[in-house]
């Protein structure tokens, strides 16, 4: 059985808090704790070891947005990110959402290509949003 087939995707639980805080590094432990309680963090594990993470945000408190997606280096390019996205999309559809938003820095061609490869379409850019004046390209995926 390959890596992809052995990967278990699920919502994070309290037992995952420390790993999520360390791997995220962008938000506080309190925020992550709240997101775990609200099923806004998805993790993926293989043989009981966490290897990936999605932090879900909501723009305007209504529109789902991927705040962060992460897969540890040794498991990248094995379909793990896609497997987490599929899980997230199923969850969002079941809760009445018809789109998912995401973004990537303008100077990151690989994440942009990944978004397009899994069905996201570019829908805008905010210039100068990031450190050094780098823009942020936004993507939308229809879930219906």
Judgement on whether residues 9 and 79 belong to the same structural domain of the protein: yes
3-state secondary structure of 66: strand
Q: What angle do CA 144, 54, 48 make, to 5 degrees?
A: 115
Q: Which residue has the tokens 């100077």?
A: 107
At 3, list the tokens.
Answer: 């890596």
Judgement on whether residues 92 and 42 belong to the same structural domain of the protein: yes
Judgement on whether residues 74 and 108 belong to the same structural domain of the protein: no
User: What average pLDDT does the chain have?
Assistant: 95
Predicted pLDDT at 87: 98
d(CA 15, CA 1): 27
CATH number of the domain where residue 79 is located: 3.40.630.30
Question: What is the domain extent for residue 32?
Answer: 1-97
In this prediction, the residues of the chain whose per-residue pLDDT falls under 70 are 1-4
Judgement on whether residues 77 and 56 belong to the same structural domain of the protein: yes
Predicted pLDDT at 25: 87
Judgement on whether residues 88 and 114 belong to the same structural domain of the protein: no
Predicted pLDDT at 33: 97
């Amino acid at each position: 059985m390959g890596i992809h087939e052995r990967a278990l995707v699920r919502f994070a639980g309290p037992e995952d808090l420390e790993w999520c805080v360390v791997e995220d590094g962008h938000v506080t432990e309190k925020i992550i704790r709240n997101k775990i309680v609200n099923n806004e963090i998805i993790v993926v594990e293989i043989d009981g070891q966490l290897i990936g993470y999605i932090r879900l945000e909501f723009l305007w408190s209504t529109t789902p947005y991927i705040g962060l997606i992460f897969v540890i280096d040794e498991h990248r390019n094995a379909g793990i990110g896609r497997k987490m996205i599929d899980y997230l999309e199923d969850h969002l559809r079941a809760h009445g959402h018809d789109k998912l938003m995401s973004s990537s820095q303008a100077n990151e061609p690989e994440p942009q290509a990944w978004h397009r490869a899994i069905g996201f379409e570019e829908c805008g850019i905010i210039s100068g949003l990031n450190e050094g004046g780098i823009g942020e390209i936004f993507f939308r995926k229809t879930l219906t």
